[in-house]
Amino acid sequence: MISVHILEDHDKIDPMDWVRPLHFDGSANTRSCYSGTPENNTMWVRVYEYFGDWVFGMKVGDYHDHITKRATYGCNAMMRFEFVRGIMPDSHVWNLNED
């Protein structure tokens, strides 16, 4: 059995944490045509691969508040993410280098 820790609103986000969106729109496991970053990932990716460094050290709750208050489009306001910490099985990780 492998255990991971689900980050709660008071937990700080680390670059090596895992993330995936809770809402999906479009094709699964695609990349943004603008930035090349992961989109609609049903598999887990590292925080640094998805967001870059602007979220490092931010609390999960503060991140979600930031997105809700500053979202330009309604779909962005609904973008909530699941953050976990721990050893993730390879079968659950989206290897971005293989695309």
Hey, how many other C-beta atoms are within 10 angstroms of the C-beta on 73?
8
pLDDT of residue 34: 73
Would you say residue 60 has pLDDT above 90?
Answer: yes
What integer is the mean pLDDT of 63-83? 72
10-21 pLDDT per residue, tens: 999 999 999 988
What integer is the mean pLDDT of 78-92? 87
User: Hey, what long-range contacts does 5-9 have (CB within 8 A, 24 or more apart)?
Assistant: 5/84, 5/85, 5/86, 6/82, 6/83, 6/84, 7/60, 7/83, 7/84, 7/85, 8/60, 8/61, 9/59, 9/60, 9/61, 9/64
Model confidence at 46, in pLDDT bands (50, 70, 90)?
A: very high
Would you say residue 91 has pLDDT above 70?
Answer: yes
Any idea how long the chain is? Answer: 99
